[in-house]
Amino acid sequence: MLSSKTLRYKNSSIGYLRIDGGNQLAFCFPGFGEPSGSFSIFNGYLKNFTLIALDLPFQGATDWQEGLDITTDHFLGDTTIN
């Protein structure tokens, strides 16, 4: 099953594509200028994996409002992907 979702981080909205498959989880990062939807081609093919394809800041469905200075604090939040 393929679904487009978003999660909130502070004042930003991060878009991602979830492709449900198996018990193994794989995070996918599209190339610069490519949206997370570019991974939709794998829908139905990777039966052992659930893919989470993230839209990076300023790409795809992500609305990034946190500026350009990224520190380790950005990665230590209470964000849950479901």
Residues of the chain with pLDDT under 50: none
Q: What are the b/e assignments for 56-66, b being 16+ CB within 10 Å?
A: bbebbbbebee
Query: 18 - beta bridge partners?
Result: 3, 52
What pTM, to 2 d.p., does this model score?
0.77
In tens, the pLDDT along 24-38 reads 999 999 988 899 999
Sheet of strand 12-19: strand arrangement = 2-9, 12-19, 49-54, 24-28
Question: How high is the pLDDT of residue 78?
Answer: 59
Question: How high is the pLDDT of residue 43?
Answer: 94
Every domain of the chain and the residues it spans: 2-75
Fold of 2-75: Rossmann fold (3.40.50)
